[in-house]
Structure 1
Amino acid sequence: MLHRTIHLFRKELRLHDNPVLLAALESSEALYPVYILDRAFLTSSMHIGALRWHFLLQSLEDLHKNLGQLGSCLLVIQGEYETVLRDHIQKWNITQVTLDAEMEPFYKEMEANIRHLGAELGFEVLSLVGHSLYNTQRILDLNGGKPPLTYKRFLHILSLLGDPEVPVRNLTAEDFQRCRAPDPGLAECYRVPLPVDLKISTESLSPWRGGETEGLQRLEQHLTDQGWVTSFTKPRTIPNSLLPSTTGLSPYFSMGCLSVRTFFYRLSNIYAQ
């Protein structure tokens, strides 16, 4: 049976190497791409300040644009996540919720609550790892249920796991054409809010613009300079430089605008040459 699915974006705000979104598309007749903007959660648990708010909103706007190019859209629904899900699962006759598996305690608690809600309302829940290079639960399992406390032990565990999984293929318009897209009126109703809508200061904006598009461009700029890549040594960076002597990609990995597996295998190919 094909599902009517809410795909819940959390920290994989991208379309490249997004295994759970690909699985959602392959198993659904209708797909609602949703980001729940729970301001209380983001402020209290995630400790998001003005700069990160701007980065997040820019990332959501970029994701909405990229989804639009493939025939879909992003629905940003404001409110407490469990209340939002309960209301819209019933309103849209949802039979499946898909989401990226995360390691932080508050995200794991969120997933557990969604699974309890699924048992109550009768929908399935699918989560897959895509935000980290390895499945962190596998690392814990191989170390007796505890995190490795030394770098040497950590490397030993990784040697048992082998190479990370390769990135999944890029999504196409054909993938989205197989699923019914949200009604265009929903996109207007649940648009990405502007900073002024959330009363977020527009002073001291960062030159690092959020989003998958910007992240991929920055990644490409660094990796085309293969001499810089092969000669890079972390202790020899300049901490007070106006421009970073490292890649400057950390915020894009943190928000999931860039895939760490894509980065890993692109670097591996360069080192192998």
Structure 2
Amino acid sequence: MVLFWFRRDLRLHDNSALSHALASGQPVLPLFIFDSDILTKLSDPHDARITFIHQTLTSLHQQLEQRGSTLLVRHGRPLEVMAQLLQEYPLQEVYTNRDYEPYARLRDSEVTKQLLGKGIAFRGYKDQVIFEQDEILTKGGTPYKVYTPYKNAWKSAFTESMATPYPSEEQLHGLQPHPATTLPTLADIGFAAAEIPTPSPSLSETVLRQYDKTRNLPALDATSRLSPHLRFGTVSVRQAVQLALQHNDTWLQELIWREFFMQLLFHFPESAEESFAQKFRHIDWRSNEKEFQLWCDGKTGFPLVDAGMRELNATGFMHNRVRMVVASFLVKDLLIDWRWGEAYFAGKLLDYEQASNVGNWQWAAGTGADAQPYFRIFNPDSQVKKFDKDHRYIKRWVPEFGTSAYPAPMVDHAEARDRALAAYKKSIAYTL
């Protein structure tokens, strides 16, 4: 018997490691672990991501039971869960899809040692990206630190066969026969149902074909809403790339940005905690807690910033253009450490993915690899004129906008810009 461990790949179709497990010729028993090392770090008992995972697992469980098998769902530390499973089942191998985040790599290293000590192979496969780890490198054999040459190398190396789906759904006759099991409830793992639903992906031809023209307009429902589904693997990256190739190169480039950030975090895991650019590791952040709270609550007096934060707090989603504006405002106008914003987004976003979140925050802060120049500072009012000139998006989320109930701007943007530039220049001088 072999074990297949679901993680960021919650689907039976086009699943790389599941397909390899089913092709092994041995009966396959599927597993999911609610990792207590991760769950204990989540502060909201109504975290919508946990509800989404639980709903998805319930559906998978039902599909597997219809085939006479089951989905084992356990709650605990992976090492301890695996030790228990080794006592319960005659396991010969464990199959899973690779994860590249620092915690996941440490976890998998520990599990590998544990299994090898019992003579059991731990087999990992590529699934959540087209290119992983060291597959796209510079001619000098080093990881890319700039997006455009990485994108060009990605496109040059790509062949359409790389987006061919795995036939896992056609191989399910290889599942281990198993009596029905019971899934733990949300309450069993310390959570309650969330009020925020995870949006279904919008993969219509109309949305994808118009993506390059409408993606920056937050008042329109003009983005795919695919990111949480890529995050948890309910949609495969191969399917997404196939659609992008058919309909819109700009959308494909966004998928490549995702892989660029993943390889950056893989090669430079310290960037999750530290500014990638060493010259910006000595910025004298103001990090005023009261000002940070106004930003969190969407009460800054800058309507596009406030609309974005209120959308995030209410729905777990924020339009990508607005994400850039609110991030720039926090870091540059308020001179608050980018890590504060990254952590806040990590607790709120349905599509939270560490590599993309860290990468985008460092991009906005000007401290990352291939970041916007530190002296490029978004003017929140100019961004309104460019992308929400009729205030449709703003009025949706800030109904008091334009009335006496709406607060005055908490800072003067021109003065805040000068203050930020001085702080960045001082950090550069410190490292010279």
TM-score range, shorter chain: 0.7 to 0.9
How far does residue 114 in structure 1 lie from its aligned partner after superposition?
Answer: 1.7
Partners of 1:15 and 1:170 within 8 A in 2: no
In 2, Cα distance between equivalents of 1:159 and 1:267: 13
1:66 aligns with 2:81: no
How far does residue 79 in structure 1 lie from its aligned partner after superposition?
Answer: 1.2
Residue 189 (structure 2) aligns with: 198
How far does residue 231 in structure 1 lie from its aligned partner after superposition?
Answer: 2.1
| DSSP-derived class of the 1:78 partner | strand
Q: Which has the higher strand share?
A: 1
How far does residue 99 in structure 1 lie from its aligned partner after superposition?
Answer: 0.6
| DSSP-derived class of the 2:97 partner | strand
- Post-superposition CA distance 1:8-31 (Å, at most 9, x none): 111000112101101101114222
Residue 247 (structure 1) aligns with: 224
In 2, Cα distance between equivalents of 1:58 and 1:258: 15
Residue 309 (structure 2) aligns with: none
How far does residue 110 in structure 1 lie from its aligned partner after superposition?
Answer: 1.6
In 1, Cα distance between equivalents of 2:146 and 2:192: 42
How far does residue 113 in structure 1 lie from its aligned partner after superposition?
Answer: 1.3
Matching residue within 50, 53, 64 for 2:50: 53
Residue 412 (structure 2) aligns with: none
Q: Which 4+ stretches in 1 moved above 6 angstroms?
A: 45-49
Partners of 1:45 and 1:106 within 8 A in 2: no
Partners of 1:21 and 1:98 within 8 A in 2: yes
How far does residue 153 in structure 1 lie from its aligned partner after superposition?
Answer: 2.0
| DSSP-derived class of the 1:107 partner | helix
1:233 aligns with 2:212: yes
1:267 aligns with 2:266: no
Residue 123 (structure 1) aligns with: 120
How far does residue 39 in structure 1 lie from its aligned partner after superposition?
Answer: 2.3
Unpaired runs of 5+ residues, structure 1, are 210-214
Partners of 2:29 and 2:175 within 8 A in 1: no
Matching residue within 69, 90, 93 for 1:93: 90
1:36 aligns with 2:13: no
- Post-superposition CA distance 1:126-160 (Å, at most 9, x none): 111111232233125866343x2212221233144
In 2, Cα distance between equivalents of 1:119 and 1:236: 48
In 1, Cα distance between equivalents of 2:248 and 2:223: 17
Q: Larger RCO: Structure 1 or Structure 2 (Cα < 8 Å, ≥ 6 residues apart)? A: 1
Equivalent position amino acid for 1:180 in 2:
Q
In 1, Cα distance between equivalents of 2:157 and 2:31: 33
Unpaired runs of 5+ residues, structure 2, are 250-432
**1:92-111 map, 5 Å:** 92-111=89-108
Residue 212 (structure 1) aligns with: none
Partners of 2:163 and 2:241 within 8 A in 1: no
In 2, Cα distance between equivalents of 1:63 and 1:143: 44
1:153 aligns with 2:136: no
Partners of 1:34 and 1:75 within 8 A in 2: yes
Residue 26 (structure 1) aligns with: 23
Equivalent position amino acid for 2:153 in 1:
I
User: CA, structure 1 residues 228+179, in 2 after alignment: closer, same or farther (shift >3 Å)?
Assistant: closer
**1:106-185 map, 5 Å:** 106-140=103-137, 144-146=141-143, 148-163=144-159, 165-172=162-169, 175-184=171-180
How far does residue 51 in structure 1 lie from its aligned partner after superposition?
Answer: 1.4
Q: With the length of structure 2 as denominator, give the TM-score of the two structures.
A: 0.52
Equivalent position amino acid for 1:158 in 2:
W
Matching residue within 208, 217, 230 for 2:198: 208
Partners of 1:17 and 1:170 within 8 A in 2: yes
Equivalent position amino acid for 2:198 in 1:
W
How far does residue 182 in structure 1 lie from its aligned partner after superposition?
Answer: 2.6
Equivalent position amino acid for 2:90 in 1:
N
Aligned length: 248
User: CA, structure 1 residues 30+99, in 2 after alignment: closer, same or farther (shift >3 Å)?
Assistant: same
User: CA, structure 1 residues 142+265, in 2 after alignment: closer, same or farther (shift >3 Å)?
Assistant: farther
In 2, Cα distance between equivalents of 1:19 and 1:116: 23
- Post-superposition CA distance 1:90-130 (Å, at most 9, x none): 32010100011111111111221121112201101111111
- 226-235 vs 76-85, which deviates more? 226-235
In 2, Cα distance between equivalents of 1:17 and 1:249: 16
| DSSP-derived class of the 1:76 partner | strand
